Structure 1
Amino acid sequence: MLHNVCKSTKPRLTGNDIPDDIWRHIALHIASEEPLHKFYRLISVNRTFFNVILDAKYGEVRWVRLSEKFMRGLQRLQNPIISSHVRRLYIRAWFIEYLLKREALIKPPPPYKACRLFTCCVGQRARKRLDSAKPRKNSTSSEPLPHLSSEEIIRLLINAVQGMKNVTELHFEWRDLPLNKDTRIFLTSTRKAFSSCLRKLVLQAQISKFKELLARADYENLDELDFHFDYSPTWRRKSADGQEAKEGTAEEDPDAGDLIQTVLPFISHWKARLRSLVITSFSSLDLSEFLSGLPSMPTLRHFGVNISLNKSHLSDPSGLINILTTHSSSLLHVSIKPGLPANCEQYNKVHVQRQMKCDWAAIHDLLLSSPQCLVGLESLEIPSICPRATLPLVRRSCDTLMRLALTGYYLSEEEVTEVINVFSHRAFELQRLHLEVKLLVTSLFHLLATRLPNLYSLVLVYEQHIPLDSPPAACTSCHARLEAIRHRDIRRALPPSKHRRALVEHARVPRRAHDHGPRLGAGAEHTDVEGVSEGCDVWSAGEVSVCADRAGLVRQVGHLR
């Protein structure tokens, strides 16, 4: 009897007895299966659901434009509990400048207009009373926000930033933000709030503004830097004989002095822990001295440059080669993207492409003569002259590469085969591929699907295509379905099935009809589709991005069921 009583009094397992890790996996599984608005309703289940939902809702905050949505989010971020869940913060500072200009335009009315202003205020109050008497739908969401001055909004921004104690990634775009008392306080509070938790710093500004952005910045755990040098008007000093002096040196160009005296010491300060360094430049400055002065970074894993490679922007490429050689034992990811040359709008497309190819050829020869460069990489993105010249560089990492991107040269189907043959001994290891092809045909997809069966992401930029043979009715139906496909974030809801087919259809649509889509190069449209394979089920689940050429036509790729 006593034994039965003990059995009956055994305590039941409750939700509090389940560890938080299991609850977190449950919450993440529900978030991946259910729409977000339904998932948000579970915020009161327990503490784990509460934290996961706040992470999903406020994990990424973008301050890019002044709107009611921005103001409502800013008011919620005044709560330290909510602001502590922010992990990534994007700031485009032009909207702060807009606040300051809007404040300057608001002037007090003249005395002789006081009576008219009083009449207008009375009329507005009367209209508000009439509107409040009418039934409204979603009155809480449509209620207008009170007008706040620029000082009050900046004060709210500072208060929200001070509560963001767990931000690991900061993207700051300066634009035309003026430096005054309020903006300096905002920049200072941002540096102090993120000093202990920030891991990745992305700054986009003119070189002269980096001195203020990097001043007294003490980030304890910073290991990723991404600097964008915006275009600034060319500064030239005339010599005694009236001729324009050569630009690009620290003695003659203030930007060159700021680059060497501000940006370079900041990178050198974090050289022992930097894992990623990316330099993008739209400035007219010569970056040779800057690249040559970069220190040795023993833990560097990712290095990328997106700069113009001509003589006026990179007069001495030995600094770039030296970085790749010095860090060859630690680098795993290398990306070299040649920017457009100066005054490219004055020339046609053929001339610009020829000039960019000549600029890259000089650096390509230096890479070939340096056998330590580009060895043992996991991802590589470089321009291509032709397969015969470029593949020797790719073969240096053919045993380790998982991502490959070759740009700047349109490959034939035979040349694509040459690229694939480099990975014939480990066809299942290559996961992401980016190529530019002359002709997009069905046989090309069949080649890629059979030779690279484990490919997860495929990006193709092409000049021409051969449309698939199909009756007119089918073409009309395909075109209607393609019109309904969004240009980004198309994800398959159901698991892959071997009976589900993907059809590739290319519609000649004027570019004007799809200006909302993201662009590549000088006017290419881009579509991300998951699990696309033409006539075969070799690819299980992946992304295929097919980009139009730059001739003015848009091609689309869609997943049709």
Structure 2
Amino acid sequence: MPTTGDDLAPEIWLAIADEVVASDRYSEGRLPSRYMAVNRVFFNLYLDTVYGDVQWTKVDKDMMKQLKRLQKPIIASHVRSLRIHAWFIDYLMKRDAKTDVPSTLCARILSLFNTNAKPHPSNQAQTKLISSVSSKTIMDLMISAIHNMKSVTEYHFELRDLRLTKDSSRFLVAARQAFSSSLRKLSVHTTIFKFKSVLALSDFEHLEELELHFDYQCHRTHGEDAHEASKFAEAQELKDTIVPFINLRKETIQSLTIASYSMVDLSDFFKSIGPFRSLRRLSANICLDTKQLSDSKALVDLIYNHRSSILELDIRPRPPEEDFINVEDTAARRKESAVRIQKALLEHRDVARSLEGLQIPVGDLNACLALIDRSSHSLTHLSLIDWFFSLEDLKRVLNLFAPNPFRLKSLFVWVQDLSVPLLQLLAGRLPGLHSLVLLFETCTSNHTHQMEDHFYHQLAVSSKEGRLDWQVEHISIIQIKSTISPEDAELLGVPSTAGYTDPTYTSAVSAAIPSIKSDKGIQWHRKLPPRRINSTPPSPYG
């Protein structure tokens, strides 16, 4: 019998979908809706790409349309990742406390989607929407949608300063219960005192990835005694609530991220967690000074005790607690705090021997090189921050990979000057590089139009002569003083300056290197760990 489309395996249809997306310049990396009717594979794939990642970050018309559609179980079942920023709920709760809202809220919300309604200017529609929605209505709709989400594996929740009322607590409990069995990754942003409202000891028993962000705790009273009392209370809450939650899951947790904006000393916290049976990734975005990490051995011992399992180590120091003086002084203190951790790590000869991913502040260059050298034979991802490399210093880093130049697949590095010789150096020393992120101070094209023409001329000549033939496919090249979006700034570890990232240099270099496929170097480098925790490859439509 002849083979029909129904006889083809789903994997073949997914490959066909890849080709459809690649050939459609208007697809924006996702399967167009007109292909939904081809078969069930395309139908599910389209719903996966549209509803796979749901973000509730503000009340607008798009969110309300999405909430309406997520009331249908067949749609909500395709949600894999849910991200909620609760600030808009808090805003609505405060507004509701001051005003009386009419009783026919749900009907008024749904009427906004009546296609026969007279169109309004966008600003009028948004104003009408905000004034028509109460916090209770929003939470009722979200709870209903959450109950239909049976396949959520990632949950990101920014509680921030959300007040814990009867309705908001009902929402938090509903989310915990709905995702309890399916969740594999949990990320929570809130103050240490509010974690108990999100975390329950009996929930999320299959958790593999855990991110905890300790927000700054505002103090109601002033004075040194009150400040110390508050820090003591935070430390006690860590011990009573968060440590038990983590340790009950130490058999399943494979990735642990701790980011702290709190003033609490984390030494006892690091001493109290673990050991983890199969910890693959450890990330610490914390102050490394003596006030917030009085005992550097606490963090270093945690790394040392898991040296045989950790594949990715990410250390990003936050500015020390001391009062801000100036940028240079703050940077110097931050560097000093990082060096104390570097030296403590180097005291253990068998730490960082088989890492696949490493992100560290350079601190002391010689100490940094010594740490990189330990795992240069196994590293595939390397991020070096808080240090603008000269060409000569960068050569010292690249020399470490000379025995196996094809091993490193992704590099993020800060450089003093963007130049064609720099690109040629990277192309020659790291021929197997897959993604590249460069954050630079100056460029030879910045000073005069003549020098700018010279830079682009050098790019063209080098490309024509084959000196930029490379395997690199994804790049991001960004000047530290140019416009940088909040999303990219978070990944780069620098302040945001605008709503978008200036693509000028990325576009110029992309035109000179034939192998480059996208300007998503940041996303490829930072969002994709060297080895997926759950061995699931990234979606080509994400």
Q: TM-score of the superposition, structure 1-length normalised?
A: 0.77
Q: Which moved more, 1:254-263 or 1:274-283?
A: 254-263
Counterpart in 2 of 1:232?
Answer: 217
Q: Within 2, Cα distance between the matches of 1:350 and 1:509?
A: 16
Q: Verify the 8 A CA contact 1:170 1:202 in the aligned structure 2.
A: yes
Among 151, 156, 159, the alignment partner of 1:166 is 151
Q: Does 1:450 align with 2:435?
A: no
Q: Within 2, Cα distance between the matches of 1:454 and 1:55?
A: 32
Shift of 1:387: 3.0
Among 210, 213, 217, the alignment partner of 2:198 is 213
Q: Does 1:311 align with 2:290?
A: yes
Counterpart in 2 of 1:23?
Answer: 13
Q: Within 2, Cα distance between the matches of 1:254 and 1:530?
A: 48
Shift of 1:438: 2.5
Q: Verify the 8 A CA contact 1:531 1:544 in the aligned structure 2.
A: no
Among 168, 182, 190, the alignment partner of 2:167 is 182
Shift of 1:524: 6.8
Counterpart in 1 of 2:463?
Answer: none
Q: Which moved more, 1:65-74 or 1:150-159?
A: 150-159
Shift of 1:90: 0.3
Counterpart in 2 of 1:436?
Answer: 414
Task: Write the deviation string for residues 128-178 of structure 1: whole angstroms up to 9, x where unpaired.
Answer: 9xx98989999xx99986934332221111110001000000000002211
Shift of 1:286: 0.6
Q: Within 1, Cα distance between the matches of 2:340 and 2:481?
A: 38
User: Amino acid of the residue matched to residue 395 of structure 1?
Assistant: D
User: Amino acid of the residue matched to residue 262 of structure 2?
Assistant: S
Task: Write the deviation string for residues 421-473 of structure 1: whole angstroms up to 9, x where unpaired.
Answer: 00001111111112222333321111111111121222223333322899669
- Equivalent residue of 1:75, what SS? helix
Among 269, 283, 295, the alignment partner of 2:274 is 295
User: Amino acid of the residue matched to residue 205 of structure 1?
Assistant: T
Shift of 1:355: 0.9
**1:279 to 1:136, Cα distance in 2 relative to 1, 3 A:** closer
Counterpart in 2 of 1:406?
Answer: 384
Task: Write the deviation string for residues 294-341 of structure 1: whole angstroms up to 9, x where unpaired.
Answer: 111120000010001111110001111111111000010000000011
**1:353 to 1:148, Cα distance in 2 relative to 1, 3 A:** closer
Among 163, 180, 204, the alignment partner of 1:195 is 180
Q: Does 1:521 align with 2:494?
A: yes
Q: TM-score of the superposition, structure 2-length normalised?
A: 0.80
**1:328 to 1:543, Cα distance in 2 relative to 1, 3 A:** farther
Counterpart in 1 of 2:38?
Answer: 45
User: Amino acid of the residue matched to residue 266 of structure 2?
Assistant: L
Q: Within 1, Cα distance between the matches of 2:282 and 2:476?
A: 37
Shift of 1:99: 2.1
Alignment of 1:3-82 (within 5 A): 12-34=2-24, 35-36=26-27, 39-82=32-75
Task: Write the deviation string for residues 374-418 of structure 1: whole angstroms up to 9, x where unpaired.
Answer: 110001111113432211111110110111112222222111111
Counterpart in 2 of 1:272?
Answer: 251
Counting matched residue pairs gives 486
**Which ranges in structure 2 are unaligned for 5 or more consecutive residues?**
103-111, 457-467, 523-542
Q: Within 2, Cα distance between the matches of 1:191 and 1:185?
A: 10
Shift of 1:253: 2.0
User: Amino acid of the residue matched to residue 9 of structure 2?
Assistant: P
Q: Within 2, Cα distance between the matches of 1:412 and 1:442?
A: 14
Counterpart in 2 of 1:223?
Answer: 208
Shift of 1:543: 5.4
Among 79, 85, 90, the alignment partner of 2:78 is 85
Q: Within 1, Cα distance between the matches of 2:119 and 2:67?
A: 29
Shift of 1:348: 0.8
Q: Which moved more, 1:387-396 or 1:531-540?
A: 531-540
- Asked which structure has the greater CA Rg, the reply is 1
Q: Verify the 8 A CA contact 2:445 2:453 in the aligned structure 1.
A: no
- Equivalent residue of 1:435, what SS? strand
Percent same amino acid among aligned pairs?
35
Q: Within 2, Cα distance between the matches of 1:258 and 1:26?
A: 53
- Equivalent residue of 2:389, what SS? coil
- Equivalent residue of 1:44, what SS? coil
**1:471 to 1:295, Cα distance in 2 relative to 1, 3 A:** closer
Q: Which moved more, 1:173-182 or 1:415-424?
A: 173-182
Q: Within 2, Cα distance between the matches of 1:213 and 1:505?
A: 36
- Equivalent residue of 1:416, what SS? helix
Counterpart in 2 of 1:96?
Answer: 89
Higher relative contact order (CA 8 A, sep 6+): 2
